Structure 1
Amino acid sequence: MSSIAIHTLRESDQRRWTYGSNYVDGALRLFSVSSLLSCGDARISLSEWREVDWNEKSEAFPSYVAISHSWTPSAEVTRISQNANRQLDIEIGQDSPHTISWHGLQQAALAAQHLKYELLWLDFICLNQTSASDKKLQVQQMGYLYEKAAAVIIMPGGVSAAQAIELEAPWITRAWTLQGATLCPKTYVLGLDGRPKITDEMHWSASSMSPGWFPPIDQVDGELGIMEIRDLFHSTYANIRITKFKKDTNEPIDTIQWTVNCLGRGPALSALGAILLAESPAMRQAGIWRSIWSRTSKYPQDMVFSIMHLLDVHLEVDYNRNMGDLIVELARKTSALPSWLDIGHDLPFSP
């Protein structure tokens, strides 16, 4: 399966990312990891695979890492990206572009390189945000994009930067991130290890009511590391106390509470756990249905379109239909296993 190079943008160009005319609606587009990490010449080199058969199992199918993120960055990611001062504007067809950062893109590329993959998929780059026809086709196949990925990297605070995993992030609240978290067996969270640092004067120990209180971190670069999402999910419920000690006397200095917060809290997190850790198809589907009422999206219809692939249901992507009609059709097509009857008691009331 061959690719066609369609666009390149260098950081030194200091221009917006925007599409020309040499692309095909609905094509699979990926960009190069090595180009992003080219010393002194960071660039986005985008290629396109046309007439992709998503059911193909050939080794010729491109291996790529998909990025899952929130369009709205966390306060910490905003701070980090502003300090990095490597702005990248994305043309989205409105008066103002959407701003991300070359800094965060390179962190994602480092993680993909660490996993030994050369290609990345990111909606900002690989979907023409100004084309309604391309976006409709891409939304239709979004589930396949994550399912066929060799790995998925989650950036909870947004794609502009990795943040410490103990800090809150908006990722769990967004509709489309559910697919990014649950469809690919190799799904990782990219973040910074925010635990206290061991120094010449101080060391620390941790205690928790939960075994395996902290997920194994696969170090990528300095404090930057990747963690398997299931391991990180378990850590969000650990009651962790970190005690600092003087190295020479072993005298306690301070004790702090430490919590993994980047995956969020509340109904959205428990629904995600039901999907990741389900012991039966009914449990998994119940978690998927619960997510409709515990996440949000700019367009209400996306609450349905973002889960249809998870339920193995095909619906035509049509934003002229209202959400209620779409939910009824989704329920009808999954009536053989009516998990929508068991969405749980801890959800906010919705008519």
Structure 2
Amino acid sequence: MSESTVIYSAPLHSLGDAILDISSSATSRRVRLLDCAQFLDDGVLAIHEFPEFPSVPYTATSYVWKGLGIDPAHADDYQYGAFTVKGAEDGDPISIDVLQHVCTVAVQNKTAYIWLDRVCILQNNRDDKAWQIRQMFNIYKSCAQCVVLPGGLRRLAQFDEETSWIRRSWTLQEIMAQSNVLILYAWKYGKLLSWSSASALFMYTEVIQGKSAICSLDNALQVSIGSCKLTTEREKFQRFSFKLLGRGRDPHVGALLAVLNGNGIDSDASAQAVWRCSLMRTSSFPVDTVLSIMGLFGVTLDPRSFNKGDRRGATIALAKEIIRNGRRANWLAPSISLPPAKGLSAFPEFPHVSVAGQATLTTKEGDRPVEELMPWVGEGWLDGVPTGTMDDAGYFTFSGPAALVVPTGRQKNDPTLYDNNSPTDAAGQLQAIAVDGSIWRIQLDGEETYQPPHPTFIVFVGFLVHYTSPSFGCYYDPFRYRALLIEEYEPGKFRRTSYFVLHEAYQSSIERWQSHTFCLGGPV
């Protein structure tokens, strides 16, 4: 291992209200780590720079850029002040007290360094930031543990406070890359004496006595959707539950559980949940919603190839690499219920994002959170999503079972997801009702009686499979088949106009559909 170089060293008492700037001593494209021993034992903030990727054990951190403000009721817990970082003044100040808690966790778990992106990346150096983003997945994958600070860097969050951590784009990759994930939070109730529950497992370890504790991500999620009786040294909780990550049927908690429950990111089940998370989460810049998940798919894009608002270009680039690597178009599954992107109907309309808000889409009723426009993730994932090829313009070419459909001229008012319980109408004709209420006659190959000027097809794209996590309960939906409604708008090119939710009674009909090849994109 190459020796590290200390590029910055300053007493902690000198950092209050200071602006940390390491640009004059740091070398671009290097990994940097904070020294925990010097922080805790000597009261010094020391930053080491490594000429090669470090092999020393270190703790990585996951937090939100803008978190919780200082709570006057707990102001006495934060005595050492805070500092900002040159080039990242728009982020929350970094509390020296919070760093003390993180360093303590690191040392207690036998790691001598921590990686904190705000401090360890040259925030005002575009070349270094681009390089660090390309290394991000590996940084979290290679750490000994990832410590989550749900409330951000100004203070530790109380266990019953709601935070935005689970709604932020970057935090997904940070915990998925590493299996050893710990949640750090404020805790004044002392050691755990006992717990009991039929629905949730929860255990924790104190970090600094009377001030902080850690628990595993899995335990935190369990007591987010359930509760338990908890007895500690200073308190008895009859119904203890976490709010830091969300609670109950929070779509973000459900989506994260689906990612973790999907048998690894290489599975279609997990991949679809990752795309769902990406659509629901938000970030400072639209492009970050793509860069923050690329490593999960084994893809490395150059951030300098896209401007900060180019989510469209980055999404095409990521999807193209995923398809080129032989994987399926799993983004189709969670996005099927969302309107197609203008001119790019193989993808959903891209949500609006903001640094501290929600991911939203503009509808007839105004802007709505994306999570409200998608079905509950507990319904399952789609097995059988197609693979194919994708060009630079985002046109997806794939093959799948399909049948020509023609409009009946009738429209169903107030359509629901449960309209297609039989493949035939009263006259015995094959038909299907799209979710937009349009009613279509299905014409099997060789039975075509009408050729419209713009052929329209129903295309099977998969069937629902239930996630096995007990958190989702027992669920079986007979309306488990999904199909796209696509229309040819110029020779050989199709656009998505709606979709179908079909009862399993359609299975015999689908088995008779022939394989067709489509180029799905959209009019430019």
What TM bracket, shorter-length normalisation? 0.7 to 0.9
Structure with greater strand percent: 2
1:273 partner amino acid: L
Any conservation in 2 of the 1:78–1:160 contact (CA below 8 Å)?
Answer: no
One of 371, 377, 401 as aligned partner of 1:347: 371
Match of 2:501 in 1: none
Report how far residue 51 of structure 1 moved.
3.4
In structure 1, stretches of 5+ residues that fail to align are 53-59, 199-203, 245-253
> After superposition, what is the alpha-carbon deviation per residue over 1:143-199, rounded to whole angstroms, capped at 9, x for unaligned?
11101101110011012332222221121111111122111121111123466999x
SS of equivalent residue, structure 1 residue 339: coil
Q: Show the 5 A alignment for 1:116-127.
A: 116-127=110-121
One of 258, 272, 277 as aligned partner of 2:256: 272
Report how far residue 19 of structure 1 moved.
1.3
2:208 partner amino acid: D
Match of 2:273 in 1: 287
Any conservation in 2 of the 1:33–1:112 contact (CA below 8 Å)?
Answer: yes
Identity %: 25
One of 245, 256, 260 as aligned partner of 1:263: 245
Q: Show the 5 A alignment for 1:59-208.
A: 61-75=55-69, 80=74, 84-93=78-87, 98-193=92-187, 208=197
After the TM superposition, which of the residue ranges 229-238 and 94-103 deviates more from structure 2? Answer: 94-103
Any conservation in 2 of the 1:77–1:160 contact (CA below 8 Å)?
Answer: no
User: Is residue 2:321 matched to residue 1:333?
Assistant: yes
- Structure 1 residues 97 and 188, CA gap change in structure 2 (3 angstroms): closer
Larger relative contact order (CA 8 Å, sep ≥ 6): 1
Query: CA–CA distance in 1 between the matches of 2:297 and 2:105?
Result: 30
Report how far residue 310 of structure 1 moved.
0.5
Give the TM-score normalised by the residue count of structure 2: 0.57
1:210 partner amino acid: S
Give the TM-score normalised by the residue count of structure 1: 0.83
Report how far residue 210 of structure 1 moved.
0.8
Any conservation in 2 of the 1:81–1:160 contact (CA below 8 Å)?
Answer: no
Match of 1:55 in 2: none
After the TM superposition, which of the residue ranges 167-176 and 156-165 deviates more from structure 2? Answer: 156-165
SS of equivalent residue, structure 2 residue 37: helix
In structure 2, stretches of 5+ residues that fail to align are 338-369, 375-496, 498-524
Query: CA–CA distance in 2 between the matches of 1:291 and 1:263?
Result: 14
1:120 partner amino acid: I
SS of equivalent residue, structure 1 residue 117: coil
- Structure 1 residues 196 and 107, CA gap change in structure 2 (3 angstroms): closer
Any conservation in 2 of the 1:286–1:340 contact (CA below 8 Å)?
Answer: yes
Query: CA–CA distance in 1 between the matches of 2:184 and 2:92?
Result: 22
Query: CA–CA distance in 2 between the matches of 1:313 and 1:307?
Result: 9
- Structure 1 residues 275 and 77, CA gap change in structure 2 (3 angstroms): farther
Query: CA–CA distance in 2 between the matches of 1:194 and 1:341?
Result: 46
Report how far residue 277 of structure 1 moved.
2.1
One of 204, 207, 215 as aligned partner of 1:220: 207
Match of 1:297 in 2: 283
One of 28, 31, 34 as aligned partner of 1:28: 31
Report how far residue 4 of structure 1 moved.
1.0
Report how far residue 240 of structure 1 moved.
4.5
Report how far residue 34 of structure 1 moved.
1.0
Query: CA–CA distance in 1 between the matches of 2:76 and 2:330?
Result: 44
Report how far residue 88 of structure 1 moved.
2.3
Q: What's the C-alpha RMSD, in Å, of the aligned pairs?
A: 3.0
One of 291, 295, 308 as aligned partner of 2:294: 308
- Structure 1 residues 20 and 242, CA gap change in structure 2 (3 angstroms): closer
Any conservation in 1 of the 2:64–2:150 contact (CA below 8 Å)?
Answer: yes
SS of equivalent residue, structure 2 residue 107: helix
Any conservation in 2 of the 1:165–1:194 contact (CA below 8 Å)?
Answer: no
